[in-house]
Amino acid sequence: MPEEAIETKFAQWARVEVFGHQFYEGFVTETTIGGCPFVQIDVPEQTYDIAEWDSAAEKYVNVTKTKPAFRKLLGQAAIFSITPIPLEESRKLDAKYGTQSLADENPLLELPAAKAAQESK
In tens, the pLDDT along 66-99 reads 889 999 999 999 999 998 888 778 778 878 877 7
Is 69 within the bounds of a domain?
yes
Structural domain count of the chain: 1
Angle at 113 between CA 112 and CA 116, to 5 degrees: 85
Sign of CA dihedral 98, 44, 108, 76: positive
Is 22 within the bounds of a domain?
yes
- pTM for this model (two decimals): 0.68
Is 73 within the bounds of a domain?
yes
Is 93 within the bounds of a domain?
yes
Residue from 6, 118, 19, 3 nearest 75 by CA: 19
Determine the structural domain holding residue 72 and report its residue range.
11-119
Q: What is the pLDDT of residues 42-60, one digit of tens each?
A: 988 888 888 999 999 999 9
Is 48 within the bounds of a domain?
yes
Is 5 within the bounds of a domain?
no
Is 43 within the bounds of a domain?
yes
List C-alpha distances in Å: 10 to 13, 38, 91, 110: 10, 12, 15, 11
Query: What is the pLDDT, as a whole number, of residue 40?
Result: 95
